[in-house]
Chains A and B, each alone.
Chain A
Amino acid sequence: MAAITLTGVGVAIFVLLRVVPGDPIAMMISPGASPADIAALRAHYGLDAGIGQQFVVWARDLLRGDFGVSISLHRSVLELLAERLPATLELAGAAFVVALLLGVSVSVVAVLASDSKVAPLIDTVNGLFLAVPDFIWALLLVLTFGVFAPVLPLSGRIDPSLDTHFTTPFYLLESLLTLRVALFSDICKHMIMPTLALALPLAAVLTRVLKESLREAMVQDYVLLARLKGKSRLRLVLQEALRNAIAPALALTGVQFTFLIGGTVIVERIFSYPGIGNLAIDAVINRDLPLIQGLTLAFGALFILVNIAVDLLVVAANPRLRHG
């Protein structure tokens, strides 16, 4: 399945890039270059061949693990991906975890407070969070924590003055696992704003669904029986209802997470975060065909991985889906 999806993505992006206007050669030549120079350059990058032939060359190289060379950065696409993808993975992963924690806690509070005046307030605020997209959050966060109360770094992934000696590109994980506290906290500080910008709308979607399915679960007979045994409302929500309510909410979060991956493009740009989203914008501006193709495949793979992970989580939460 995954292979078919990725092939589809590859064909689509390859054809699209060559059909839409925009010429990588036109972007790199200096004004006044002769038509002969342009033709020579085009031949150098293999862009003079027919689209079918170009695709065959690209696909053959891909299967050998060669993603080509970026036209604008003059570096191997695979190398660029290896450098930038981990940053995006860490950002998206952090956003997912934060959204899950936020969404679950708000939903539990909303259900516990469903008889009080707090409940409609939570609904209203959640509606607001649902309506505001990630890039607006990014700008609001920049204004709040970068301009009015400048407590958080505005851009980048890590303070350049710090001793950055990493053996893997997973800075956050590595600094945590090697217990380099100062480094870890600096990376966290850099990640807070982009993570929140991505996580808040996702948390709102999760809350919206989870709150309803929790309320539905709370009136089931098994919750009533547990209540008769003297369980507190908090225990009823956490032990009885949450496990059954979270599966549909998780499935939806999986779908929403793909929007989050798309959101990384603009959010990374706003915070100059060195991930593949930021790189993708540069690649498109420069009509860097090999790089765009490689990035699109990376996004596709990410999308598939996330959906597999969410499916596994849903199965883990719902014993009825397990075999045997």
Chain B
Amino acid sequence: MSAPILVIDGLSAVSQRDGTPILRRVSLTLHRGETRGLVGESGAGKSTIGKAILHILPSAVRVTAGQILFEDRDLLTMPSAPLRRLIGERIALIPQDPMTALNPGRRIEAQLTDGLRLIRGASARTARARALSLLEEVHIREPERVLRAYPHELSGGMRQRVLIAAAFALEPALIIADEPTTALDVTVQKQILRLLRNMQNAHGTAVLFVTHDLGVVAQVCDSVTLLFGGKVIEEGPVAQVLEAPRHAYARALLDACPRSDHPELGLRPIPAELIARLRREVATP
């Protein structure tokens, strides 16, 4: 594999309010062009990792230890101005809800070309041409019309395509996809996942894919990191983790997924004693 693009090392974070740990010495390495699934239930800390990378943690969360090395620079200690520029140019976010992630008062063209004009200093004409080709790349029909449209004139799936196009606009090295398909219906979900996979392959972008859905992981990820209570409890290539999970929680989580190939298995909830045991386990240092 090629050189790592993102190395998170011993990242710990606590809640400012009561000092509860949110991340416990999380380490993970992401290589160029790799798609890593970041999986866990609500509160496992998967979104916190993405926010820590982008420096958009809520003020109630404080990083207490660790490093986030992106292209060999520690994002946690960089001065704010170059950090903002680095993130703007090299890291992009595909947000969860396409209905709120586009400004309802601005045309698509303005929102797609913002970064190009601000960071690259592109002319209006160059930025527009780039925006058109991006929209074509994410399979949007009538891209000319969509450029002139306001977000409310587009469907949820189309908006998410626009957001994917916007994420790739500056050819970032890393994209953080924060549950990008949760708000979409299932058929649209599939299309968006396929699109994201294709785009990511074509551009060689590394993707950190935050999700709670193991089915989505199987579809788009190369590798997966499983979190519980802010701690990494299993990690490895998707095939290995999904077919032969070593950790009891990983097995239980897989069992809890609906299987269209084995409907007779039904849904099995994760045993309560397993959760309780894990809670004790991650709490002891």
Contact = CB atoms under 8 A, between A and B. Distances in A.
A229 B95 contact: no
The 5 closest A-B pairs by CB, nearest first: A230-B88, A243-B105, A221-B101, A222-B103, A319-B150
Interface string B96-111: 1100111111100001
Contacts of B96: 221
Interface string B201-239: 000000000000000000000000000000000000000
A272 interface: no
A244 B103 contact: yes
A228 interface: yes
B84 A320 contact: no
A281 interface: no
A317 B105 contact: yes
A252 to B, nearest CB: 18
A36 B164 CA distance: 90
Interface stretch (B37-45, B114-122, B267-275): B114-122
A318 interface: yes
Contacts of B166: 225
A317 to B, nearest CB: 7
Interface residues of A, number: 20
Interface of B: 54, 56, 84-85, 87-89, 91-93, 95-97, 100-106, 111, 114-115, 118-119, 150, 152, 163, 166
B118 A229 contact: yes
A268 interface: no
Contacts of B95: 221, 224-225
A319 B152 contact: yes
B105 A227 contact: no
Given A244-B105, A318-B105, A319-B105, A228 B100 contact: no
A134 interface: no
Contact of A228 (B87, B103, B105, B152): B87
Contacts, number: 66
B84 A244 contact: no
Interface string A306-324: 0000000000011110000
A319 B151 CA distance: 9
B114 A220 contact: no
B56 A222 contact: no
A243 B56 contact: no
Contacts of A243: 103, 105-106
Contact of A229 (B97, B119, B163): B119
Contacts of A223: 103
A230 B85 contact: yes
B45 to A, nearest CB: 19
Contacts of B102: 222
Contacts of B91: 228
15 contacts: A221-B96, A221-B97, A221-B100, A221-B101, A224-B93, A225-B95, A225-B163, A228-B54, A228-B88, A230-B118, A319-B150, A319-B152, A320-B104, A320-B150, A320-B152
A227 B84 CA distance: 9
Nearest to A247: B105
B103 A240 contact: yes
Contacts of B150: 319-320
Nearest to B54: A228
A38 to B, nearest CB: 65
Contacts of B85: 230
B25 to A, nearest CB: 27
Interface string A209-225: 00000000000111111
Given A224-B95, A227-B56, A229-B88, A319 B115 contact: no
A318 B91 CA distance: 31
Contact of B101 (A225, A229, A231, A319): A225
A226 interface: yes
Greatest chain B CB density within 10 A among A228, A229, A239 is at: A229
A116 B279 CA distance: 39
A319 B103 CA distance: 11
A224 B56 contact: yes
A318 B105 CA distance: 6
Given A224-B56, A320-B152, A229 B105 contact: no
B92 A222 contact: no
A228 B114 contact: no
A226 B87 CA distance: 12
B181 to A, nearest CB: 15
A226 B84 CA distance: 11
Contacts of B56: 224, 227-228
